[in-house]
Amino acid sequence: MSRPDLLALTPDALVALANRGLLKRAVKELDAGAVPVLDVADDGTLHGRFADGAEAVLPADKGFDGARCSCGAMGICRHRVGLVLAYQRQDPAGELVLSSPGAITDEELTAAFGTRVLAAARRTHSAGYSARVRRPSAADPVAEVELPACTVRFLVPGELGYVHTEAAAAKREQTIVLAVWAFRAADEHAPDVPEIRLDVGGTETQTTSGLEPALGLVDKILLEGAADASPVLLASLRRLHGELEEAELRWPAAAVAELAEQLDFHRARSAHYRARRFAELLTELHARHRAAIGGSSPRSRILGTDEPSETPLRRVRLTSLGCRISGVPGERLAELYFADARTASVLVLRHSWTVGAGEKCTGHDLAGQRISGTSLRCLASANVVSESAHRSASRVLRLVSARVGRTTTTPVGASWASLPDALVVRDYAAFAAELAALPPRIIRPRVAAELVRIVHIAEVRRLAYHPGDQRLDAEITDATGTVATVSAHYSEYRPGALDALADALASRPRYLSGTVHRSAGALVIDPVAVLTPAGLTHPDLAPDVRDAPLRLAPEPPPDPVADALDLLASAAHTGLIRTAQRPTTSFTRIATALSEAGFPQAATTLTTLRDALQTPAPPHLPTTWLTAHLRLLLTSTHH
């Protein structure tokens, strides 16, 4: 009896099931003549006896997890890998027949995993979830589905026994079922598209979002303001956070936690407090509520209901995209960005240091500090292989300190060039259109480094420095001549960054990494690292060495949208009750500026709020503020 499942296993599939070291050792032993004696039973079970006395068995219809070996190794061993390779050499595969995992029936799923797993998967399907589907091809026969919490890879067409996912054992079978259903939905909607992102399920009709208790608390905060937030209010926020987490509403729970954190910062007079961020969080909770009951997008993407709080990654290979240094008095923060090529996603590893009063501590000073046994500078330029990593719902990476010995690093080298297309921006106009099609940020998944990308550079045309904003701008182009702007601001925590960035951009770089957003229809990149012919440059870790002065740029024109957002943030900070007792001339002036700049709807919402503030005992004052703030937030992302 033939074993087509074993013949379909590619070297990459064997690496996923075992690891590259075991594969190399098995190949080396076979090439040296240590070939096992093979026997295939009538039921398809493959037996192999090796020269060292070990016997390995690969039962039919049980996949690689059902393999056994007498060598006593924990998990996959070289004998089991060698048994597959020896069988492939003895009976070379014919033409591989590709098939979609969507062809797997629910009856087959039930037989493999049981009714309880299917029932749990149906609950997630009813709520809706997002997926990126990559179809198999002759060049890469592995079908792949990227789910919010993990990636599922079907290593052998039509075989549930050869599915690889980094999900923990408790969720593994459920994620496989969800991946099959995602392929089934893709087959129905776009059967000929090689790769597609789509929303799956979401058939429930909901009249509530689960955020109703949060909305009343938000309105109370808006009326009273951050300045008068009491300990009782903070306790209510923390209790609400626990309730939302228990209900698995990950994104609203995260917003409530950050809101409580902002109020803590204000009470402590910390520089971490940001009035504009405080206002955005208040609006976010209302926006997620409206979107969840509106039905325009799956609730899972708005509320994070399909996200586990943390996912252990069994074995992960990451490529560093650089390091960002920030801080406030008394604290410094390093954020290291890593690309996971297998899932085409970016993860963030964070580490903070306490700094004494008056102590100077810049990114350059921190470059030698060690994180998980490796210096910050080396980690920012490394390929990382780890079996001790955990990923949070918001894509924050955590390395388990007790197992850091299972984390290894090698230099990044030219790895950026081989990252998947989803992480590399080569066509600026196409990526700008992709950004324009995204839902508003305040209802998207709360994913750290969501828009961190590698940007390919065909040419650097211009460098200019804006002294008023302490900002360096550079024009770069793609292969078609489309222009994007690289824009970086000065920070006392990374004082050498602008000069290092200018030098790197002047040395004919091929790529840079950074956070990409859209402004006036064009791309703007906040840079993190630059790949030049001499290697990877990390501006935030550069010493403060100022050589030639940068060419000055003209001052930017006034921005009435930013002024309006600052005004509304100030009203939320002070509290709408107190704001109503003050003059409203600023509302009139900024509304006029908005109208003259071509934003009449934003101007109207600001005028409506001004009139409500001037009305004795105005009804629905928080709703009027929220309407104006939401309009201004949406305007700021598109003008």
What amino acid is encoded at 316 in this protein? V
CA-to-CA separations, 538 to 346, 369, 482, in angstroms, rounded: 18, 15, 26
3-state secondary structure 339-398: EECCCCEEEEEEEEEECCCCCCCCHHHHCCCEECCEEHHHHCCEEEEECCEEEECCCEEE
Question: Are 511 and 412 in contact, with CB atoms under 8 Å apart?
Answer: no
Question: Are 38 and 46 in contact, with CB atoms under 8 Å apart?
Answer: yes
User: What are the pLDDT digits (tens) for 26-50?
Assistant: 899 888 888 999 988 888 899 999 9
Burial class of residue 535 (count of CB atoms within 10 Å of its CB; 0-12, 13-18, 19+): exposed
Cβ count near 405 (within 10 Å): 10
User: What are the pLDDT digits (tens) for 431-462?
Assistant: 999 998 888 999 999 988 999 999 999 999 98
Question: Are 582 and 570 in contact, with CB atoms under 8 Å apart?
Answer: no
- Name which of 134, 35, 122 is nearest 86 in CA terms: 35
CA-to-CA separations, 578 to 222, 228, 570, 582, 617, in angstroms, rounded: 10, 11, 11, 7, 12
Residue with tokens 């109208």: 595
CA-to-CA separations, 228 to 52, 173, 255, 491, 573, in angstroms, rounded: 76, 49, 20, 31, 9
**Two tokens, residue 517:** 């957003």
Across the range 540-550, mean pLDDT stands at: 75
**Two tokens, residue 369:** 């500090």
What amino acid is encoded at 605 in this protein? T
- Confidence (pLDDT) at 405: 45
Which one of 2-11, 146-155, 471-480 scores highest in mean pLDDT? 471-480
Which residues does residue 153 pair with via DSSP β-bridges, in sequence order? Answer: 144, 164
Q: Of 124-133, 169-178, 281-290, give the lowest mean pLDDT range.
A: 124-133
The pLDDT confidence band at residue 403, using thresholds 50, 70 and 90, is very low
| pTM reported for the whole predicted model | 0.75
- Confidence (pLDDT) at 19: 77
- Name which of 416, 283, 264, 405 is nearest 338 in CA terms: 416
- Name which of 159, 125, 130 is nearest 143 in CA terms: 159
Query: What whole-number percentage of the chain has pLDDT above 70?
Result: 94
Q: Are strands 424-425 and 452-456 parallel, antiparallel or unpaired?
A: parallel
Q: Which residue has the higher pLDDT, 451 or 90?
A: 451
Any idea what DSSP says for residue 302?
Answer: H
Would you say residue 94 has pLDDT above 70? no
The pLDDT confidence band at residue 1, using thresholds 50, 70 and 90, is low
Alpha carbon distance 566, 254 (integer Å):
23
Evaluated on CA atoms 256, 258, 260, 266, the torsion sign reads negative
- Confidence (pLDDT) at 556: 65
Across the range 405-424, mean pLDDT stands at: 83
Work out the mean pLDDT of the chain and round it to a whole number. 87
Any idea what DSSP says for residue 455?
Answer: E
What amino acid is encoded at 28 in this protein? K
Q: Of 124-133, 453-462, 588-597, give the lowest mean pLDDT range.
A: 124-133
**CA-based R_g, the chain, Å:** 28
**Two tokens, residue 350:** 């964070």
Across the range 392-402, mean pLDDT stands at: 79
Across the range 172-187, mean pLDDT stands at: 93
The pLDDT confidence band at residue 638, using thresholds 50, 70 and 90, is low
Q: Which residue has the higher pLDDT, 550 or 506?
A: 506
Question: Are 161 and 62 in contact, with CB atoms under 8 Å apart?
Answer: yes
Any idea what DSSP says for residue 440?
Answer: P
- Confidence (pLDDT) at 230: 85
**Overall size of the chain counted in residues:** 639
Where are any strands of DSSP class E within 189-261? 195-200
C-alpha torsion angle, residues 532, 534, 535, 537 (rounded to 10):
-70
CA-to-CA separations, 121 to 173, 177, 252, 526, in angstroms, rounded: 9, 7, 23, 39
Where are any strands of DSSP class E within 79-237? 129-134, 143-146, 151-154, 163-165, 195-200
Cβ count near 436 (within 10 Å): 11
The pLDDT confidence band at residue 335, using thresholds 50, 70 and 90, is very high
Alpha carbon distance 218, 214 (integer Å):
6
Alpha carbon distance 553, 542 (integer Å):
24
Alpha carbon distance 266, 273 (integer Å):
6
Would you say residue 611 has pLDDT above 90? yes
Question: Are 194 and 134 in contact, with CB atoms under 8 Å apart?
Answer: yes
Q: Which residue has the higher pLDDT, 456 or 141?
A: 456
Q: Of 264-278, 327-341, 535-549, 557-571, give the lowest mean pLDDT range.
A: 535-549
Span between the terminal Cα atoms of the chain, in Å: 66
